[in-house]
A and B are shown apart, each in its own frame.
Chain A
Amino acid sequence: MFTVRTLAAACAWLCVCAPALAAAAAVAQAPKAEVIHWWTSGGESAAVKQVAQAYRDAGGVWIDTAIAGGDQSRAVTINRIVGGNPPTAAQFNTSKQFLDVIEAGMLNNVDKVARAQNWDQMLPEPIVDVIKVDGHYYAVPLNIHMQTWFWYSKAAFKKAGIEKEPESMGEFFAALDKLKAAGIIPLAHGGQSWQETVLFSAILANMGGKELYLKAMRDRDQATLLGPDFRKVMLAFKRLKSYVDAGSPGRNWNDATALVISGKAGFQVMGDWAKGEFTNARQIAGQHYGCMAGFNAATPYLIQGDVFVFPQTDSAQAVRAQQLLAKVVSQPDLQVTFSKLKGSIPVRTDVNAAELDVCARKGIEIMKDRGRQAGVTEVYLTPDQNGAMQDVLTAYWNTNMPVEKAQKSIANALKY
């Protein structure tokens, strides 16, 4: 008697609750994406929140795993992939950082989205170079950073009597001399090895043009690296050392930007993320500070950026979450809002750029000319080669290493 009654009660309970349970199950069925990234600074985390919101709006569940520091974050991603507990998606830079992971067959491809949006035609070549392997697309690009912008303080220019932006290396050095004469630090430089590589890339791109740049960095042509044109670039790079203040070694990039913001320094060569520092200091592009992507209309635009990769998984639910995320992040509107907060520019050129600042608009304009597109060194070199070159450049910059020896060491570093 008792058991029958209990059974009946249980049945009744089930009948009442079943629809609710089904609803709960449906929620659990929503594509759930755990995303590892290293966007942790103020502007960056605001930018990634936009992506998370867009993903939720599209019906997904976003699980945020932010890890401070790119190196740290990438190490966690790779360890989790190897350990068999991969995230749904993970951030990498637009570079060869994840080539080994692709070749080990540990990433899912996103060919479906790529085909639907015609990436072959739409994306810049340097980006396609690193995300397309053996005819398959393995990453979704979010944005484009340009590493070698010349930022300058309008106040410092005025004080030193510089009337216009330099349009050649000669004019650049003349401007630096004027700044020095006016008692201003001509070039704000953070003396860390990666920043020395940024500065060197800028000089190589501006002096050597796209041809020399690609021959040296993409083809790793030994004759070019040991040749006279490359030597001229090396000498000009080293000459900049005399325009840097004594406090430079070890300085962070944003402390160098602060020198330009306060007008204590004239120039800084740094990626467009430096814009965030100017904005935080309530300075406006074109009014308080200026930005130049290069000295003339032929300077290659060195592309860097961020991508999402999607680790291999058997779970159909995870694959669905990955496909949805790939679709969401390649929407033009999201790319604009993301870039606006991050300081980058959208990957797509078919966007409404009106709400971006003057420097970003310059960048978008330049990107329309396919002839000016090139990648940063990391797009062409493995992390290992790039690091070895970085070691030589920083040693050359900081010691009195003869230029011939530095050239030989770079050629040697890129040989492997």
Chain B
Amino acid sequence: MPAFRVNKVTPHIALLPMALTVLVAYIGAALWTFKTSFTASRTFASDNFIGAAQYVRLFDNERWLLSLHNLAVYGVCFIIACMVLGFLLAAFIDQNVSGEGFLRTVFLYPYAMSFIATGLVWQWMLAPGAGIEGAVQSLGFTSFRFDWIIDQELVIYTIVIAAVWQASGLVMAMMLAGLRGVDPEIYKAARLDGIPAWRVYLQIVLPMLGPTVATVFLLLCTAVVKLYDAVVAMTGGGPGTASEVPAKFIMDHLFLRSNIGLASAGAVTLLIPVLALLAPYAYARSRRKRA
């Protein structure tokens, strides 16, 4: 009987540190941020409650609105590009190409680099007059222009390029793992029926990868919301405010501009889309468990 008891208690004790971390560091900090967003805190947190004034001010701020817009553009482009590219790479490697191990490493390698390093490298590659533009011009195409990084409208796409370069390898690895789980008999059967390979992948294999795709999608979503370091390293939010993102707005107000209240309001606002994405997912999972 006592042995049974110990067995029941042990996993809970083992989980305790993690549970405490989640409770204090994540949920506790989130609640504290929520509270602070309703105060007039500046350099230091204060208990001077001012209602929703920080939120009113936040949505009166053009840089914040532009940041949200940029994040939406970036998010859609980044997720679609990563998924498509990652899947294509995985399907390509799945053809039993020679040197698979080597190619897999090459595609996954960018993910091992920090975002700051990625950003700096791409900043050099995209700098007008040097990098890609300079290289093509030196080949004789003197009228070639690729100056997106100093263009108001296009600068956000340069950040998409850098981020996709970095993250699509990870998507490939996960998709490849999914593909390897597909029953080889299916390919054989499809070949017997004379179905072209692209249709097999698109209409048969891809639907079977549902859970993998969902996981990849969720991972990419969190990567979108926390976008900060690549922007700082590549453009510093510029030219002007053209490539500002919400996380940078929050960091600036937290540390440089001594306005913890406004920064907290921004952070809470940013939490809402994350919860909106997570809630249906959690709901679906809990229903499946019950069923």
**Which A residues contact B (CB, under 8 angstroms)?**
71, 75, 78, 82, 97, 100-101, 104, 191-193, 246-247, 249-250, 382-384, 386-388, 391-392, 394-395, 397-399, 409, 412, 416
Contacts and interface: CB of A to CB of B under 8 A. Distances in A.
Contacts of B57: 416
A362 B240 CA distance: 34
Given A192-B236, A383-B256, A384-B257, A399 B42 contact: no
A249 B258 contact: no
Contacts of B134: none
B239 interface: yes
Interface in B47-71: 57, 60-63
Given A78-B43, A249-B238, A391-B62, 12 more contacts: A71-B255, A100-B44, A104-B43, A191-B239, A246-B150, A247-B129, A250-B236, A383-B259, A384-B258, A395-B62, A399-B152, A412-B60
Which 7 interchain pairs have the tightest Cβ spacing? Answer: A398-B240, A100-B43, A249-B239, A387-B257, A384-B259, A249-B150, A384-B257
Interface in B233-271: 235-242, 252-253, 255-259, 262
A97 B258 CA distance: 8
Nearest to B151: A249
A250 B239 contact: yes
Contacts of A382: 42, 258
A94 to B, nearest CB: 16
Contacts of A395: 62-63, 240-241
Among A82, A192, A193, A250, the most chain B Cβ lie within 10 Å of the Cβ of A250
A384 B152 contact: no
A394 to B, nearest CB: 5
A250 B235 contact: yes
A101 B43 contact: yes
Contacts of B152: 398-399
B60 to A, nearest CB: 7
Nearest to A409: B62
Among A78, A82, A384, A412, the most chain B Cβ lie within 10 Å of the Cβ of A384
B128 interface: yes
Contacts of A397: 240
B253 A193 contact: no
Contacts of A386: 257
A395 to B, nearest CB: 5
Contacts of B60: 412
B238 A398 contact: yes
Among B57, B253, B256, B258, the most chain A Cβ lie within 10 Å of the Cβ of B258
Nearest to B254: A75
Nearest to A398: B240
A193 to B, nearest CB: 7
Contacts of B239: 191, 249-250, 398
A369 B43 CA distance: 35
Nearest to A391: B63
Contacts, number: 77
A327 B224 CA distance: 52
Contacts of A392: 62
Interface residues of B, number: 28
Contacts of A384: 42, 253, 257-259, 262
B150 A250 contact: yes
A304 B28 CA distance: 41
A250 B238 contact: yes
Contacts of B257: 383-384, 386-387
A240 B42 CA distance: 35
Nearest to A100: B43
Given A100-B42, A104-B44, A193 B256 contact: no
Nearest to B42: A100
Nearest to A72: B255
Contacts of A193: 237-238, 240-241
A75 B253 CA distance: 12
Contacts of B43: 78, 100-101, 104
A412 to B, nearest CB: 7
B255 A391 contact: no
A383 B235 contact: no
Nearest to A392: B62
Interface string B23-49: 000000000000000000011100000
A412 B63 CA distance: 13
A249 B151 CA distance: 9
B120 to A, nearest CB: 13
A100 B43 CA distance: 6
A100 B128 CA distance: 43
A78 B256 CA distance: 11
A246 B128 CA distance: 10
Contact of B258 (A100, A246, A412): A100
27 contacts: A78-B43, A97-B258, A100-B42, A100-B44, A100-B258, A104-B43, A104-B44, A191-B239, A193-B241, A246-B128, A247-B128, A249-B150, A250-B235, A384-B257, A384-B258, A387-B253, A387-B257, A388-B61, A391-B241, A394-B240, A395-B62, A398-B239, A398-B242, A399-B152, A399-B242, A409-B62, A412-B60
Contacts of A399: 152, 240, 242
